Amino acid sequence: MAMFIFLLMMTSLTMMLKFSTLQAALSKNQLSKIQIRYLAEDGFNKFLYGEGNIEKYMKKDILDNFRLVTVNDYRIKLEKGHELKPYIDKLGYSFKNIDKKEMIFFESEVSNNGLKTSIKAYGPCVNELFELNKPLLDEEDLLPEEKDLFENFFHTMEKDNWDYDFPMGSNYRKINTKKDIVLNYVTENIKPILGQKQMILNSGEVNQITDYFRNEFAVIHLKRDGVENRNLTIGNTEQNTKIILHGDLYLEGDLIINQDFEFQGLIIMNGGKIIVNSKTKPQIEGMIINKGEKIDLESLNLIHNQKCIYRGGSFLPGFIDIDIQVIKKF
């Protein structure tokens, strides 16, 4: 009987030891899974919020996505020596418009010590100012939640000279000036360059040309000269041709439209008026952001066009604003 009890105790002890060993192994495995999931989320956040990563690995492709260059998926290849390269196997992102907001979706795969896990994360990626779905954003009619967006935007735009996000070697034209300027098509009195139809920006002074450009996309940043407003004049009342321009107009002065005019993009008025002298209503597709005198909407054909807003906004400071709201680990 004593021997039976002894054998029973030894068997029970052996089973307990095996169970304890198994439990320890399971606990260790579970701990490893928790650790790699933490590593995956930590690595993703380090990439997204690490200094210079968006600028270096994503900014160009994000901006191109809003400049009518559509790609379904983007893959990020971390350079040799990047602190995250040893354990991030795959990192990519794509875009999808949900409820009239452009969302960015990330996918990341991570491996460490023989274990693998993946992360999916998403959230809005564009400054809310450009997704208010309004053709006119006026200082006097702001909703409470729009005031900070509005003020922060103008604070940035009021800098003396902004280095806009233009791609290298592009045909887009950027003009920063503190002079009154007049925009016209080149006429028969001025010899065109390369024999093509061109636009000409003139400072208004005799024989002083500010710029020629053959494309029809421009960002014009017209600053006050001290306290004196500076104006942009479109065409003249004696011409019957339509002037077509795409881009962004930031004006610390008046926009004077003397000729049939069609514009796609953003018009940002800071302290000036829109004066229409043309025979037909100017057509503005995109958005007007106004700080100053009320705009006479009866004088304009103003059409909300989100594609034009995205394209124009992509050249302005603060356009990219990634805000990850959901992270899922698998």
If you average pLDDT over every residue of the chain, what do you get? 80
* pLDDT for the residue 60: 87
CA distance 308 to 67: 9
Kindly tell me the sign of the dihedral angle through the C-alpha atoms of 98, 104, 107, 108.
negative
pLDDT tens-digit series, residues 56-74: 999 888 988 888 766 778 8
Find out whether 109 and 319 touch, Cβ atoms under 8 Å. Answer: no
* pLDDT for the residue 26: 38
Model confidence band, residue 95 (pLDDT cutoffs 50, 70, 90)? very high
Mean pLDDT for 203-218 is 58
Bigger pLDDT: 48 or 205? Answer: 48
CA distance 227 to 141: 26
Considering only CA atoms, which of 206, 255, 250 is closest in space to residue 232? 255
| pLDDT value at 3 more than 90 | no
Q: What percent of the chain has a predicted confidence (pLDDT) above 70?
A: 74
| pLDDT value at 192 more than 50 | no
Model confidence band, residue 172 (pLDDT cutoffs 50, 70, 90)? confident
Strands (E) across 113-156 are located at 115-124, 136-138
Pick the range with the lowest mean pLDDT from 16-30, 179-193, 249-263, 287-301. 16-30
In angstroms, the Cα distances linking 226 to 2, 45, 230, 252 are 106, 44, 10, 11
Model confidence band, residue 165 (pLDDT cutoffs 50, 70, 90)? low
| pLDDT value at 31 more than 50 | no
* pLDDT for the residue 216: 66
Kindly tell me the sign of the dihedral angle through the C-alpha atoms of 226, 203, 177, 252.
positive
Model confidence band, residue 198 (pLDDT cutoffs 50, 70, 90)? low
User: Is residue 282 classed as helix, strand or coil in its secondary structure?
Assistant: coil
Half-sphere exposure of 207 (CA within 13 A, CB side): 0
Q: What percent of the chain has a predicted confidence (pLDDT) above 90?
A: 35
Model confidence band, residue 203 (pLDDT cutoffs 50, 70, 90)? low
Mean pLDDT for 228-248 is 87
Bigger pLDDT: 8 or 224? Answer: 224
Mean pLDDT for 132-137 is 94
